[in-house]
Structure 1
Amino acid sequence: MQFDLTKEYLDQIKVEINASNSQFIDREIIHLHPADIAEILDELTRDEAKFIYDHLDHDLQGDVLMELEDDVRQRFVESFNTKQLAQQLENLDSDDAVDILGEMQVDKQLEVISEMDSDNASELVDLLNYDENTAGGLMQTEFIRAKLDWPINRCVIELRRQAEEVDKVHTIYVVDNSDNLVGTLSLRSLLVANAKALVKDVYTNKNMAYVYTNEDSEEVARVMDKYDLVSVPVLNLQKKLVGRITIDDIVDVIREEADKDFQMASGISENVEANAGIIKMSRARLPWLLIGLLGGVLGSQVIGNFETQIGAIPSLAFFIPLVAAMGGNVGVQSSAIVVQSIANGTSQFSSILSRVKKEAILGLLNGLICGTLIFAITWLLQDIRLGISVSIALFIVIFFAAIFGTLIPLILHRYKIDPAVATGPFITTLNDVVGLFIYFAVGMMVFGL
C-alpha cells in the first residue's frame, strides 16, 4: 500500500520520539521505503530526525540520506563528525558519495577522505576530478563486468562476487583484457549458455550505446531517452569502461534542467529553492525585474512621443494594453516551442530560416484571425477608422512577435547561450516596446495625423 504522510501521523511520530519510544520506530517506520522515511525526516527537527536515523541500519541510512531534501541532508552532514561522515559515505554508491563530498569545502573533503578505506577513497578522489555536469560527474564505479575469455561457469562465480558491491544489476558489460568495452551480456544468454562455453560466444555488440566521461549531462539524458536505457556505460578518453550511469541519476538531471528552464522563463536568473535566503532570492529575481523596468521606461517613452496624437484621438489609448499583451503572449508561445524542440533535440537538422518561415506563416494566420475579430468588436463599439487601426496594428504585431520569439532563442542556441533566457521577460519586454511603436505608427497613418 502506498505510504501517505498525514499531519495526524506526523504528530504521533513526534510524540513517540519525545517519549524515546524506540519500539514504535522499529515497528512503524523502519520497514518503510527509504523515500517514505526521508519524507518523514524532512518534516521533523534535526534532533527528532536524528532519533529515527540512528535506529536505521547502515545500508538503510545511506539510502535515506540520499532521499532527503538538500537542505535537510546538509544539516545531517554537518551534525556528523569526520569519522561518522566517512562511514556514512562508505555505505553509499560512489556517485552519491561524491555528490555529498562535492558540497564540502576542500579542507573538509580531505579530512573525510583520510578517514575512509584506501580503495573507496581513491575512487572518490578520481570522481571529484570530473565536472558535476558531465557523465564523469554522474557515473558510479560500481557495475558488473565480464571478460571475453571467461568460461560461463567462471563468469557466474565472478558475477556473484561483484554483485555484493552492486545494489542494482541492470546490465552485464563485457570487456577485453584491456578493459575496453566490447559489448553486453544478457541474463537470458547467461542462463541458457553451456557452462563450458566462453563469454565471447554468447555476448552481443549490436546497437551498443555508451557515453564518454567528458560528455555533458544533458547529452547523456538524450542518449538514454533515445534508446530507452535504464543504464548506460561510461568510457574514458582511452575508451576503457570506467563506470555506469543509471536512470535515477538521469531523472534528477532532467528534473533539475526543467526547474532551471522554468525559472529562467519566469525571469529568475539562478537556480533557487523555495527555502532559499532572502538575499539569494532577490539576487536571482532582480536582474530580469530591472530589464522589465527598463522596458517599461522605453514603452512610456514611445507613448510619450505620441502624446499629441493621443490627445487628438483619446480612444487610441484604450487598446494599448491589448496590443502589448498580445505581442508578449505570441512571442512567449513561439519561443517556448523553439526552446522545447532544442531541449528535445528535434530541431538539430532544421535551419533557422525554415523555423522562422514556419512561425511567420503561423503568425500571419493567427494575426489575420485576431485582427479580424478585433476589427469587428472595435467597429461595433467605436468607429471604423479605430477598428482599422487596431486590427492592422494587431496583425503586424502578432506577425513580428512570432518572428522575434522564434529567431532570438535560435540565435542564442547557435552561440551556445541557454535559449531559455528568451522565453520570459526578455521576449515580453521587447515585444511590448516594438508593439506599441507599431500600434501608434499605424494609428497615425490611418487617421492622417
Structure 2
Amino acid sequence: MSKHEEIREQQDDFNDGLTAAELESLHPADAAETIEGLDIIDQVKFIKQLPIRDAAKSIAEMEDHDQKILIQNLNHGLAARIVEEMAPDDATDLLEDLDEEHRQALLRRVPEEERAELKTLLTFDPDTAGGVMNTEVVILDQDLAPDEAIGQIREQVEDKEVPYYAYLTDRKERLVGVVSLRDLLLAKRGVPLREMVKDQNLITVGYNVDKEEVAHLIAHYNLLALPVVDFGNRLLGVVTVDDVIDIIHEEASEDMQTMVGAGANETTDSPVTFSVKKRIPWLILNVVNSAIAAYVVHLFDATIAAMALLAALMQIVSNQAGNTGQQALAVMIRQLAMEKFDRKKAWFAVLREIKIGVINSALISSMVLAVIFIATGDIMLAGCMAGALIIDMLIGALAGASIPLILKEIGRDPAQASSIFLTTITDSIGFFSFLGLATLFIL
C-alpha cells in the first residue's frame, strides 16, 4: 500500500479513532494531508490529540487557506501555543493571513520574547527577503576557536532549525563571515574563526530585496541558506533552501494563473466573491478584445458571403498563430522567472523566437498549402491561406515573446493576463491577413 493510500485510509477511519502513537508517527507533511482531508470538526480533534510541537509542524505544512480556517476554529490558548512552537517564518506567514483582531488576540498569549520577534517580522513586506527569512540561526563570535564554536553550537542547536551554517559576527553584530559545520569540524585547533573567513567572498542579501531575487541568488550560488542583513550589514536572519522551493512553487502557480486573468493567490478554496472580483476585470477586457476581432471579420462580410469556405479556414490561421505565440510566451515568462532581468539578453531572446517563427511558419504554411490545393484544387485559396499563416505566425511569435518584456518594462507582472493580449493580436491579425488576401487575389 502506498503512503497516499495509507493517508486516505487514515482519513476514512479517523472517526473510529487514531491512537496518539499513530498520529505522532506521521511525517508532518503526511499529517497535514490527513488534516486537510477531514472536516473542520475532525481537524480540531486531530490537532488536540497531537503534542504541541507535532501540531505546529503539521499545521506549518498545510495550505494557507486550510491553515487559516483551522487556526480560527481552535481556542486562542491552544492556537497561541502552536504559533509559539512554530518556526518564526512559518508563524509570521500564518499570522499575516489572520484579521488584525484575531492576530492580536493570539500575540497577547505568546511569551514576550517570541511576541516581540514575531511583531518585528510582521513589519517586513511578505514578498521580500525580510518577509520570508528565518531568525533561528546559529551566531558565533568571530574570535572563538573551532572547539569553542562547536560547544556553543551544541548549546544552541536544539532551538534552531537545521544549522547548515554558522554565522560569524563582530562586536557590533555585523556579519563578517559564514562557516559550514563541515569546515568547523575540519578546522585546526586554536585558529580563530575569523582566520577561516578572512578571504571569503561573502554573499548576502538586503532585507528589502524581492523574494524572487533571493530565490535566484540561492539557486545561482548553490547555497543551502542565504543571510539577510540590514543597511549596516547586521545579520537579521537567513532564507533557507526549503523556503526557496516554496517561493518557486508559489511564483510558478501565480504566473500560470495570472497569464489567463485569474487571481495570483486564488485557490479552489478561495471564496466565490474573491474569485469573481479577481477575474471579472480581465473577462470584461477579453470581451472588448474579442469585439475588436469580431469587427475585423465584419469588415469582410462580403468576402465571406462570396466564399463560405473562408469562414472555416480563417480559424485555422488564428489558432495556429495563437499556439505559436503561446509557445514563445511560455518560454519568455519562464526565462524571466528563472533569471535576473537583463534587457539586452531579453530582446535577443525575442529575435530568437522570431527566427523560430520564420522556420515554423514556412514549414506549416507549406504543408497547409499542399493540403488545401489537393482538397480544393484552388491554388489561389491555398496561397492566401499559406501567406496568412506566415504573417500571423510571425506576429504571434513576436507578440508572445514581446508582451512579457513590455509588461516588465512598465513595471507590471510579465505574466499578467498576457495570453488575453496575445489572443487579441493573433485573432485580429489572422482574420485581417487571410480575409484581406482573399479579397485581393480571389474575389
For the aligned pair, the TM-score class normalised by the smaller chain equals over 0.9
Which residue of 350, 357, 366 maps to 1:356?
350
What CA distance in whole angstroms lies between the structure 2 residues aligned with 1:202 and 1:358? 46
**What residue is the counterpart of 2:12 in the other structure?**
11
- Is 2:71 the counterpart of 1:77? yes
What CA distance in whole angstroms lies between the structure 2 residues aligned with 1:64 and 1:347? 37
State the one-letter code of the partner of 1:198. P
TM superposition shift of 1:353: 4.8
TM superposition shift of 1:421: 2.3
- Contact residue 182 and residue 205 of structure 1 kept, 8 A: no
TM-score (norm 1): 0.92
What CA distance in whole angstroms lies between the structure 1 residues aligned with 2:345 and 2:187? 50
**What residue is the counterpart of 2:206 in the other structure?**
212
Which shifted more, 219-228 or 363-372? 363-372
Specify whether residues 80 and 14 from structure 1 end up closer, same or farther in structure 2 by C-alpha distance, changes over 3 A only: closer
Deviations 1:80-135 (A, max 9, x none): 33333322221111111111221223333333323222211111111111000000
Specify whether residues 248 and 326 from structure 1 end up closer, same or farther in structure 2 by C-alpha distance, changes over 3 A only: same
Alignment of structure 1 residues 49-448 onto 2, 5 Å: 49-203=43-197, 206-345=200-339, 348=342, 350-351=344-345, 353-382=347-376, 383-421=378-416, 423-447=418-442
**What residue is the counterpart of 1:21 in the other structure?**
none
What CA distance in whole angstroms lies between the structure 2 residues aligned with 1:253 and 1:43? 24
**What residue is the counterpart of 1:19 in the other structure?**
none
What CA distance in whole angstroms lies between the structure 2 residues aligned with 1:400 and 1:193? 61
What CA distance in whole angstroms lies between the structure 2 residues aligned with 1:349 and 1:150? 46
Which shifted more, 198-207 or 252-261? 198-207
- Contact residue 84 and residue 91 of structure 2 kept, 8 A: yes
TM superposition shift of 1:195: 4.3
Structure 1 gap ranges (5+): 17-23
Specify whether residues 346 and 190 from structure 1 end up closer, same or farther in structure 2 by C-alpha distance, changes over 3 A only: closer
TM-score (norm 2): 0.93
What CA distance in whole angstroms lies between the structure 2 residues aligned with 1:273 and 1:301? 36
Structure 2 gap ranges (5+): none
Specify whether residues 269 and 434 from structure 1 end up closer, same or farther in structure 2 by C-alpha distance, changes over 3 A only: farther
- Misfit runs of 4+, over 6 Å: none
What CA distance in whole angstroms lies between the structure 1 residues aligned with 2:153 and 2:119? 26
What CA distance in whole angstroms lies between the structure 2 residues aligned with 1:269 and 1:109? 25
**What residue is the counterpart of 1:29 in the other structure?**
23
SS of 2:178's equivalent in the other structure is strand
What CA distance in whole angstroms lies between the structure 2 residues aligned with 1:357 and 1:194? 55
State the one-letter code of the partner of 2:372. T
SS of 2:318's equivalent in the other structure is helix
SS of 1:140's equivalent in the other structure is coil
SS of 1:107's equivalent in the other structure is helix
Specify whether residues 422 and 78 from structure 1 end up closer, same or farther in structure 2 by C-alpha distance, changes over 3 A only: closer
TM superposition shift of 1:49: 2.3
TM superposition shift of 1:230: 1.6
What CA distance in whole angstroms lies between the structure 1 residues aligned with 2:347 and 2:123? 41
- Contact residue 183 and residue 205 of structure 1 kept, 8 A: no
What CA distance in whole angstroms lies between the structure 2 residues aligned with 1:225 and 1:352? 20
Q: CA RMSD in A?
A: 2.1
What CA distance in whole angstroms lies between the structure 2 residues aligned with 1:76 and 1:269? 23
- Contact residue 140 and residue 149 of structure 2 kept, 8 A: yes
What CA distance in whole angstroms lies between the structure 2 residues aligned with 1:409 and 1:149? 50
SS of 1:133's equivalent in the other structure is coil
What CA distance in whole angstroms lies between the structure 1 residues aligned with 2:138 and 2:318? 59
TM superposition shift of 1:52: 2.5
TM superposition shift of 1:385: 1.1
What CA distance in whole angstroms lies between the structure 2 residues aligned with 1:259 and 1:301? 35
